[in-house]
Amino acid sequence: VNNIWIDCDPGHDDALAILVALAHPQQLKVLGISTVGGNESLLKVTRNARNILELLNADVPLIAGAKGPLIKPLKSAPEAHGESGMDGIDFPAPLYPILHVNLIEYWYHLLMDSDETITFVGIGPLTNLALLLQTYPDVKSKIEMICLMGGGISHGNITPASEFNIYVDPEAAKIVFNSGVPVVMAGLDVTEKSYLTREEIDSLKSRGGISQKVYGLLDFYNQSGRQFGFENSPLHDLCTIVYLLDSNVFEGKNYSVEVVTDEGVTRGMTLADLRKKPKIQNNILVLLDSKRDRYVSYLMDSLAYFDYK
Ligand code: BDR
Ligand code: CA
């Protein structure tokens, strides 16, 4: 069993990453979920996390982390995820409890008191993880890896060069990428190939149960994606969880990757050294391709798990 902690900003694709992780208790032990200002304000993404955890009848600690980036103000993404940060269905007022503790202190004790290593799944801006690594560098040996959705070595989405999660807090991303902790990067190179088609989304409509709710979320997400030219819906964040479940679904390559924090058109870019003989040692496993059928079946099987639970 892999011990994991999911740091997120739900977010439609964040919600699905949580769902698939919780559908695999034999393989992934979800120690907790934390939120970070990103897709929407911390208040909204934490409410969305409560909603999804309640819907799944989950029982894991939920802690709210940083409101916004280390240095710059938060730039959210209502154009992709709607006004609530997870539009598409109405949830009842959430009752799911929030653990009111300082996230970084909690993580520190969790790591130091544990005999086993923990994998962090970062699917929002990397602010919380950067704060942990900067405040308590001695935790590094306790971290198995950081498996993150962010960046892209071929292109961006929020700007031509930069992907949203990295762009929102490049200073944090730089700390994570340079930390020496093993990093697996599921960036746009792979996540845009890891999509659901409109037909696959429609197939959920008549299934009832959790699938029907997920249909509502994905229907909204698919329609909002069209304004950016996507007919199919990339489930960006889910790549991290499927990678931890079955790394053979993906192909990747090690690169030396630098996060650009300079002001200007490349701010937030993940610049990979693509030269034949890079001067700096490769530090990041960059996922580049996925077997889409197998990827999609992880989601479909997880939905069935909850529908029939
Ligand atoms: C990333 O940005 C967010 O909108 C998604 O949840 C994902 O983490 C994709 O660029
Ligand atoms: Ca996200």
210-225: pLDDT as tens digits: 999 999 999 999 999 9
Q: According to the model, what pLDDT value does residue 287 have?
A: 98
Across-strand partners of 270? Answer: 259
Residues 214 and 6: their CA atoms lie apart, in Å, by: 20
Pocket of ligand 1 (CB under 6 A): 11, 13-14, 39, 77, 80, 123, 149, 157, 163-165, 236-237
Question: Which protein residue's CA is at the shortest distance from atom 4 of ligand 1?
Answer: 39
SS3 state of residue 35: strand
Q: Is the ipTM of this complex over 0.95?
A: yes
Upstream peptide bond of 11 is cis (omega within 30 degrees of 0): yes
- Count CB atoms within 10 A of the CB of residue 155: 15
CB 46, CB 64: distance < 8 Å: yes
Average pLDDT over residues 2-10: 98
Ligand at minimal distance from the CA of 192 is: 1
Q: Show the tokens assigned to 304.
A: 């069935």
If you measure from the C-alpha of residue 148 to the centroid of ligand 2, how many angstroms do you get, rounded to a whole number? 10
Average pLDDT over residues 180-201: 98
Q: Show the tokens assigned to 100.
A: 């009111």
> Residues of 33-70 as b/e, b for ≥16 C-beta within 10 angstroms?
bbbbbbbbbbebbbbbbbbbbbbbebebbbbbbbebbb
**Most informative mutation of 35, 237, 238 for ligand 1 (most atoms within 8 A of CB):** 237
Q: According to the model, what pLDDT value does residue 278 have?
A: 86
Question: Which protein residue's CA is at the shortest distance from atom 6 of ligand 1?
Answer: 11
Q: According to the model, what pLDDT value does residue 277 have?
A: 87
Atom of ligand 1 nearest to the CA of 80: 4
234-283: pLDDT as tens digits: 999 999 999 999 999 999 999 999 999 999 999 999 999 999 888 888 88
64-123: pLDDT as tens digits: 999 999 999 998 988 889 999 999 999 999 999 999 999 999 999 999 999 999 999 999
Residue type, 60: V
Across-strand partners of 185? Answer: 148, 286
- Count CB atoms within 10 A of the CB of residue 306: 19
Nearest to 98 by CA among 32, 37, 30, 38: 32
Q: According to the model, what pLDDT value does residue 208 have?
A: 86
Q: According to the model, what pLDDT value does residue 29 have?
A: 98
Per-residue pLDDT band at 1 (split at 50, 70, 90): confident
Hey, what's the torsion of the CAs at 50, 40, 158, 124, to 10 degrees?
-40
Q: According to the model, what pLDDT value does residue 280 have?
A: 81
If you measure from the C-alpha of residue 122 to the centroid of ligand 2, how many angstroms do you get, rounded to a whole number? 8
CB 144, CB 119: distance < 8 Å: yes
Strand 28-35 with 62-64, pairing: parallel
